[in-house]
Amino acid sequence: MKVIEVEHLEKVFKIPHEKRNTIFSSMTGLFHPNNYEIFHALNDIHFSIDDGETFGIIGKNGSGKSTLLKLIAHVLTPTSGKITVRKNVTPFLELGVGFYWEFSVLENIRLYGTIMGLTSREIDDKTEEIITFAGLEKFRDTRLRHLSTGMQLRLAFSTAIQTRPEILLLDEVLAVGDLEFQKKCFDAFKKFKNEGVTILLASHDLSSIQRFCDRTLLIHQGNQIGVGETKDIISHYEKM
């Protein structure tokens, strides 16, 4: 079964030279129209992903990888074309979205877990596991602002992997943290992969793409260069 189908997807951003975000400037602006820079973030992207597949997206910085993930996550809407997503999407586009700095570790697990789609019972059951996994046993009542960046990251990650994703969107999250943390991440994703979760991984780290992805999409300046076996795509990318 195809769980994600992307057909002739196009995304255009209109970037105004001068941002008008007051009523006053919009009214005066009627007399001298604003110039827009039209930016084609994605052009005619066309691919589909099977259930349980791990799919890589590679390309240089600014090639449109994150835009593509955001479109699939339904955060952005396409300018034209169609995206069909047949299962629930769990986006790991950034860790710790919606953290409250003034709240304790326990309270944040509840908030962040809910945002990531856990039910309150699941959160109750898994709180201890999350805290142990993050190594924050001594800090359960500490306010988040008093934790180090690394601790916050571990907390976010441990909470996020408790979700039961059907489709997982990953945007370079693996690039952060030390080696030990990265290994934990890899183990978690391997587990998801073995459980048959569909994973989309956007990265410019070729080694992780090579290790995980069955098929890969290469985009360059918003254009689809190729989609196919990871090996072939990567050798193509290296020649570019």
- Cβ neighbours around 230 below 10 Å, total: 20
Backbone dihedral region for residue 62 (phi beyond 0: left; psi -120 to 50: alpha; all else: beta) = left
| Region from 45-53, 111-119, 125-133, 190-198 binding another protein, contact rule CB under 8 A | 111-119
Nearer to another protein, 160 or 219 (CB): 160
x/- site string to another protein, residues 15 to 34, per CB under 8 A?
A: ------xxxx-x--------
Alpha carbon distances (Å) from 49 to 37, 104, 117, 204, 209:
33, 40, 23, 20, 16
Residue 130 beta carbon to another protein: minimum distance, rounded to whole angstroms: 16
Q: Are 41 and 12 in contact (CB under 8 A)?
A: yes
Nearer to another protein, 169 or 217 (CB): 169
Give the residue, chosen from 61, 77, 148, 194, that forms a contact with another protein under the rule CB under 8 A: 77
Alpha carbon distances (Å) from 198 to 1, 44, 49, 62, 164:
11, 23, 8, 25, 11
Separation of alpha carbons 50 and 39, rounded Å: 31
Does residue 89 touch another protein according to CB under 8 A?
Answer: yes
Does residue 94 touch another protein according to CB under 8 A?
Answer: yes
Does residue 91 touch another protein according to CB under 8 A?
Answer: yes
Residues lying near another protein in the complex (CB under 8 A):
13, 21-24, 26, 70, 73-77, 89, 91, 93-94, 97-98, 100, 102-103, 107, 110-111, 114-116, 119-120
